[in-house]
Structure 1
Amino acid sequence: MQLITLLLISTLGIPVVQAQTEGLDKLSNPLVKTAVKAMQDNDRDTWMKVFSAKAVISDDGKERDFIQWSDSEIFGRLRAYIVLGKSRGYFKRIDKEENKGTSVYGYFHTDRWGEFNTYMHFKIENNQIIRLDVGQIKQRGG
Structure 2
Amino acid sequence: MTAHPSDPAVAAFVTAVNAGDRDAFFTTLTDDASMSDDGTDRDLAAWADREIFSSNGRMDIEDVSADGQTLTAMYTNSTWGSMRTRWTFTVTDGRISRFETGQA
- TM-score for both structures, normalised by structure 1: 0.69
Distance in 1 separating the partners of 2:87 and 2:79: 18
Which structure would you say has the larger Rg? 1
Deviation at 1:99, TM superposition (A): 4.7
Give the SS at the match of 1:67: helix
Distance in 1 separating the partners of 2:44 and 2:73: 21
Distance in 2 separating the partners of 1:37 and 1:130: 17
Deviation string 1:73-131 (CA, Å, 9 cap, x unpaired) is: 1011xxxxxxxxxx22111x311101500011111101111111001111011111000
Which residues in structure 2 correspond to 1:104-119 (within 5 Å)?
A: 104-119=71-86
One-letter identity of the residue aligned with 2:56:
R
Give the SS at the match of 1:123: strand
1:38 to 2:29 alignment: no
- TM-score for both structures, normalised by structure 2: 0.93
1:66 corresponds, among 27, 44, 59, to 44
| Count of residue pairs the alignment pairs up | 104
Q: Which residue of 2 aligns with 1:83?
A: none
Q: Which residue of 2 aligns with 1:79?
A: none
Give the SS at the match of 1:46: helix
Q: Which consecutive unaligned segments of at least 5 residues does structure 2 have?
A: none
2:53 corresponds, among 75, 97, 111, to 75
**Identical aligned pairs, as a percentage?**
31
Distance in 1 separating the partners of 2:87 and 2:77: 14
Structure 1 segments of 4+ aligned residues over 4 angstroms from their partners: none
CA RMSD, aligned part only?
Answer: 1.2
Cα distance change, pair 123–99 in 1 and its aligned pair in 2 (3 A)? farther
Cα distance change, pair 115–106 in 1 and its aligned pair in 2 (3 A)? same
1:89 to 2:68 alignment: no
One-letter identity of the residue aligned with 1:97:
V
Distance in 1 separating the partners of 2:18 and 2:43: 21
